[in-house]
Structure 1
């Protein structure tokens, strides 16, 4: 039997993930690059100059033109959450790497949060992933890994 190419795709190991996203500063830097790859652009007026300031522990940006204030998390799934970015990133990693859908209880243990927080976090991430893929239905050659179709017939040979 030939080796299934899907099964042996390159992935990010947990140790490599923690090296890359292990601190709040690393996660914030990665999030900034993902959110504003060409630098900050005001969501109201599209101006590219902004002033940065901190309020409590959160960093905000204020547009230099219209003075609109926004944060890194505004308009994302993380907007109203109080969890640190390291927990969000680890949750994203665990949810996306789990082959059989990670349980909220396992997520709770891995992240060190309450069951309610883990359940909500998992469902927020699942909803965002479903929305992202909603307009891209599967087509062409589709391969399913570890599928077991059919079964034994009782009383038949």
Structure 2
């Protein structure tokens, strides 16, 4: 559950963010936390040892132990996480039957993130997309592939 800007409680996920990190080490997560988490963020996890580093960084960390199988999917703290992951899997399986994950995953995740974060304002999505296309300089297929190969 999150708070909307007006302070009211919201019972659904508002935004999603997919960011690659090298590991769950302090050195890898510190730059990510600085840009991705608000100073008063509360991190909820399933107790995976790697999440302990967020406590060391000064964030409140709540551990919620989920059961195995279907029971684990019903835990309210992870309801929207499971919805988002289910939608992500469906999108990837339905649209992209097979792809080089290491090479292109960041692009597919960015697409899902973009659509999810703008799902309440669908009428503006196409005009925003057209504006982005018009403002983007053309690039060759080779340039696109090169960017994917160097991992940016």
TM-score range, shorter chain: under 0.3
Superposition TM-score, scaled by structure 2 size: 0.23
Superposition TM-score, scaled by structure 1 size: 0.23
- Structure number with bigger Rg: 1
Q: Which has the higher contact order (CA 8 A, sep 6+)?
A: 2
